[in-house]
């Protein structure tokens, strides 16, 4: 099963390379003041989900503006625990990865990374944070291993994981009928 997910994580399409020297970039951090809702309210899970989506949106906009996440080809190496992007400028962007879950678009089902047979144990930590959040708030969708879900749900799950882990971002890697939702950590950027 691990090999099957590794095949799915083979990567996306490459864009046209335009040589340019990548900037020296510090990690992109979003201050609590940038979030309308501040910290996740312990007794209001709906506001927590809204705050996490705002957090992820701010990170994604920063990545798009800095290194063009939206144009990047992606590849995940679960053995190494890395997510690598190559953008249309020829930059190589590498970050540690966590798998939040997979969405089967053929049948509309989600399988959580915290109990996914193809996800190595070290890459389950951010998904486990969402499970724990769900357990604390009685949210069955976060604590049930295999559920019906949509792409929008997958983004909610990934956003909450990114917020809880203070990750540097989240990414949805399409592969056939499967979408792999991941979070990623501090970025290393170099010329490809």
- The strand pair at 82-86 and 178-184 is best described as unpaired
Residue 81: its pLDDT value, please? 98
User: Which of 121, 122, 173, 120 lies closest to 2, judged by CA?
Assistant: 120
Residue 66: its pLDDT value, please? 92
User: Which of 70, 71, 115, 95 lies closest to 168, judged by CA?
Assistant: 95
Structure tokens at 127: 């998904």
Percent of the chain with pLDDT over 70: 77
Distance (Å, whole) CA 147 – CA 150: 10
More confident residue, 135 or 8: 135
* pLDDT tens-digit readout, 81-96: 999 999 988 999 999 9
Residue 158: its pLDDT value, please? 98
Answering whether pTM is above 0.85, one says no
- Provide long-range contacts, Cβ within 8 A and 24+ apart, for 170-177: 170/56, 170/59, 170/60, 170/100, 171/69, 171/74, 171/83, 173/9, 173/11, 173/12, 173/74, 173/76, 174/12, 175/7, 175/8, 175/9, 175/10, 176/8, 177/104, 177/105, 177/106
SS3 call for 20: coil
Please, which pLDDT band fits residue 78 given cuts at 50, 70 and 90?
A: very high
Residue 40: its pLDDT value, please? 53
Of the candidate ranges 11-15, 60-64, 93-97, 114-118, the one whose mean pLDDT is the lowest: 11-15
The H or E element spanning position 74 is strand 73-77
* pLDDT tens-digit readout, 151-182: 999 999 999 999 999 999 999 999 899 999 99
Please, which pLDDT band fits residue 6 given cuts at 50, 70 and 90?
A: very low
Q: Considering just the CA atoms, what is the radius of gyration of the chain in Å?
A: 16
């Amino acid at each position: 099963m691990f090999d099957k997910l590794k095949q799915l994580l083979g990567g996306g399409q490459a864009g046209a390379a335009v040589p340019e020297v990548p900037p020296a970039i510090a990690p992109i951090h979003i201050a609590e003041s940038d979030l309308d809702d501040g910290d996740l309210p312990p007794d209001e899970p709906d506001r927590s989900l809204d705050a996490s989506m705002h957090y992820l949106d701010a990170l994604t906009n920063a990545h798009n503006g800095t290194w063009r996440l939206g144009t990047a080809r992606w590849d995940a190496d679960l053995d190494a625990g890395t997510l690598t992007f190559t953008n249309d400028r020829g930059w190589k962007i590498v970050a540690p990865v966590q798998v939040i879950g997979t969405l089967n678009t053929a049948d509309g089902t989600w399988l959580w990374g915290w109990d996914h047979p193809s996800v190595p144990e070290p890459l389950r930590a951010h998904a486990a944070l969402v499970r724990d959040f769900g357990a604390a708030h009685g949210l069955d969708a976060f604590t049930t291993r295999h559920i019906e879900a949509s792409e929008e749900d997958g983004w909610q799950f990934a956003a909450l994981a990114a917020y809880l882990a203070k990750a540097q971002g989240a990414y949805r890697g399409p592969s056939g009928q499967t979408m792999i939702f991941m979070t990623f950590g501090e970025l290393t950027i170099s010329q490809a």
